[in-house]
Structure 1
């Protein structure tokens, strides 16, 4: 039987993967990935000593809320990619990014010119994106392992979405350590870290998920 015929047969089978089942199967990997990312953050970097004070500022919540919103947006297309011939809608991924970038641009333009570089770079720009990528690797490994038990056919896309979800979890965990509160910093370095996770997943997908 040819591969295309097999895909069509799997997609048409009455006993195929139920629509809600991929998310149910991925959820334990997400929970474990978040726990590992939090543990890694505390073990490698430690909690921000000013965490309680920072949490009193509205800008502190922009990072975790962005990570949660992007995670919520990536789960439906990730579930779709776990099934053959299912359509994955990717445009909702742009909404959390657009909100964060617009808010960051507004903060950047309203700041005095001499302070704009500090809003973008902060004190930890060298470590942020790489730290998010590092913290995302255990979650990405777990999610790819789960996806292997399903029937993805768009392997690079499935891997990229798994990496994106893992990056969101890592960004959520890293915010416990990160001392930066400026929105432009998050819009640049947090997003870069998550994008690196997605690119890593896209590279690994065809190599790990191939039938």
Structure 2
């Protein structure tokens, strides 16, 4: 039996204030630019904005970002309403000229969404299946829109056995199936393993500047 919700709910509430405070990153860098890359996702991108900044600096180009803190793949919360689910971030984005989508998603479905109430393995599996079903539809929409390159930035483990167990199931599925779907999956777990104290902030979830640097480098190595 997986007792995930007892640990996650207090943690989700603890970071609520910081997530809301930094949602400004979701507003800047939107459409109307000449960018050929966009970011959609959650607070791994949006809270500090470091990954976006590093990528723009290293590539010497503008990248549109629609990522917002607290957003889920399915459903909404006080931090991020259903209007800004990760699929809706993409749907509502200016896709003119966009060739590459860099994204993540699913973490908040367990921190703040239906997965936060899971107390059984079957519940966890149901939530994970719902996430992947929605993401599969999102990838299909991207292909139909002419997106050439889709990069999914996976979640690193946090050092909590119960949460990491669920993350490992999710990441293993992506590692096995995404290449067959033409999705570039980045498994961030090896890069963070043993470096959690340096790469994860005191809230236990988000990357430090050093951690964001590592994530940006992984993305850079994956880009065509």
TM-score range, shorter chain: 0.3 to 0.5
Computing the radius of gyration from Cα coordinates, the structure with the larger value is 1
Q: Which has the higher strand share?
A: 2
Compute the TM-score of the two structures, normalised by the length of structure 1.
Answer: 0.36
Compute the TM-score of the two structures, normalised by the length of structure 2.
Answer: 0.35
Q: Which has the higher helix share?
A: 1
